[in-house]
């Protein structure tokens, strides 16, 4: 049997019992916040769960020594679940406005040349 992805990190974590947990409390606070907002419907609960799992994986990837990547993941507002990703695609897929007819105009007035673009007036 292998040590898993994190090579028996759980045993190394147990050896830290009694050490200060300041960073871990910050991480747990952010996880609670993310999940609470999802449960209350302020954000998507499925996205909150995915972000929480991703944050924990990022924390364990550092051998539980840094919460910076985890906090960045938890604070992200990127859609994570399939439903939110699809909604984001349709929302950001706004149709560009129809091009308006235009004309480049160049004229001279009192010795100064002016050049610009004039657009068809829309009604």
Which residue is listed with tokens 């105009």? 105
Instruction: Select the more confidently predicted residue: 111 or 13.
Output: 111
- What is the structure's pLDDT at 96? 56
Angle at 17 between CA 65 and CA 74, to 5 degrees: 40
State pLDDT tens for residues 2-61. 667 777 787 778 887 887 788 999 999 999 999 999 998 889 999 999 999 999 999 999
The full set of domain ranges for the chain reads 9-92
Measured CA to CA in angstroms, residue 75 lies from 1, 12, 38, 62 at distances of 36, 28, 13, 18
- What is the structure's pLDDT at 20? 78
Distance between CA atoms of 26 and 59, rounded to whole angstroms?
12
């Amino acid at each position: 049997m292998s040590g898993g992805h994190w090579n028996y990190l759980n045993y190394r974590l147990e050896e830290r019992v009694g050490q200060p947990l300041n960073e871990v409390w910050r991480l747990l606070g952010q996880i609670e916040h993310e999940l609470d907002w999802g449960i209350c419907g302020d954000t998507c609960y499925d996205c909150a769960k995915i972000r929480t799992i991703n944050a924990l994986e990022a924390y364990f990837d550092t051998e539980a020594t840094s919460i910076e990547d985890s906090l960045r993941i938890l604070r992200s507002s990127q859609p994570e679940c399939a439903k939110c990703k699809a909604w984001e695609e349709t929302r950001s897929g706004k149709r560009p406005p129809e091009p308006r007819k235009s004309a480049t105009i160049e004229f001279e007035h009192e010795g100064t040349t002016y050049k610009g673009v004039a657009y068809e007036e829309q009604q």
